[in-house]
Amino acid sequence: MLVLENINKKWDEFQLIDLNLEIKNGEFFVVLGPSGAGKTLLIEVIAGIHYPDSGRILFNKRDITYLPPEKRKIGFVFQDYALFPHKRVWQNIEYGLNIRKIPLREKLEQIERMMKQIGILNIAKRYPDTLSGGEQQRVALARALIVKPNLFLLDEPLSALDHNMRLKLREEILNIQREMKITTVYVTHDRIEAITLADRIAIMNEGKVIQVGTPHEIFRSPKNEFVAQFTGFENIFEGVSKYEPITKLSLIDCGDFEIQAATSKVGKVKACVRPEDVAISLNAPKSSVRNMLQGKILAFQDQGPVVKVKIGIGNENEISALITHQSFIDLNLNLNSVVIVGFKAAAIQVF
């Protein structure tokens, strides 16, 4: 297990503040947050590139806080790949083995085996500047994995790639991690990457860990408004909540409208709903859905398989909904169309 205890670090404009984390052996752990949150600084402290100002780092109960990077048996994939431009592909992969003084024959066998596994044997003699972004990324992965690391660190490794290549390599990274059963810490600002890859996720902001949990816990039960907004709860309403013991729900007065939520919180609250949890219909459907509100379409944006629709509710409130492209066509929606929006009481998160 990787344990970070009360880590504090100030470096340029970035910082880590009283940071505590526990990452299980064999876990795919994703650190998710906006730019400037301290994600890269965190992973570099784990790697030993920076030492913390205070606190300690334990790996399998061994204190590695001030251990040099080369003695931590860590594989690191940098955001810009950091390949040696004057070395061929196989020589880049060889680098970590040279540090460990592996015998020549064994070293060459390991390099060939790794290139086959990653699918880059055919480019072994090429230089990095002749490779595509996807090929460079595979070389970086091979170089990090060739040393058989106990801990695998990746700093936004797919951010520079096109969409299709990101999808392909995301799947390959997950397959490699599962096959090799390596404890992995993966930094990203992309919530789709996080929810696709992670066993657990840590949300970071301004040098602090805000929430840790499974993808379902993070994306369905955020602990505060920042996590809700960052993970896609675009609809946030202020109101006053009153608990109703008979229904075991709370009625939230948002001014222009009231909604029911599965919460016992009372007083001033913020109620949040994800766009994908909002349904649109032309007439009030026969349904057990507690919340149905009438509104007018203000705007819509075609996003390929889905359409984002913005609906005005009352005088000042707006609700965003995501519906399938086919549903948008079937409903024959246009600007100023009057519609009914519906969402379940359980879909609302209340803070």
Q: How far apart (Å, rounded) are the C-alpha atoms in residues 121 and 252?
A: 61
Instruction: Give residue 264's pLDDT.
Output: 94
The long-range contacts involving 120-128, CB below 8 angstroms and separated by at least 24 positions, are 120/89, 123/89, 124/88, 124/89, 124/90, 125/88, 125/89, 125/90, 126/88, 126/89, 127/85, 127/86, 127/87, 127/88, 127/89, 128/81, 128/83, 128/84, 128/85, 128/87, 128/89, 128/92
**What pLDDT, on the 0 to 100 scale, is given for residue 99?**
75
- Residues in the chain predicted with pLDDT less than 50, given as ranges, are none
3-state DSSP of 222-245? CCCHHHHHHCCCCEEEEEEEEEEC
pLDDT tens digits for range 295-322: 999 999 999 889 999 999 988 899 999 9
| 2-229: CATH, from 3.40.190.10, 2.60.120.10, 3.40.50.300, 3.30.390.30 | 3.40.50.300
Nearest one of 133, 134, 135 to 124, comparing CA atoms: 135
Return the sign of the alpha-carbon dihedral for residues 32, 38, 40, 45. Answer: negative
Give the list of residues 6+ apart from residue 39 with CB closer than 8 angstroms, or none: 31, 32, 33, 155, 156, 187, 188, 189, 204
Nearest-angstrom CA–CA distance, 221 and 325: 28
Domain boundaries, the chain: 2-229, 233-350
One-letter amino acid of 182: I
Q: Is the pTM of this model over 0.85?
A: yes
Q: How many other C-beta atoms can be found within 10 angstroms of the C-beta atom of residue 319?
A: 22
**The pLDDT of residue 3:** 98
CATH class in words for 233-350: mainly beta
pLDDT of res. 81: 82
| Dihedral, CA of residue 218, residue 169, residue 114 and residue 89, to nearest 10 | -130
Is 51 in contact with 65 (CB distance < 8 Å)? yes
Decide if 52 contacts 16 (C-beta within 8 A): yes
Residue with tokens 């896609």: 232
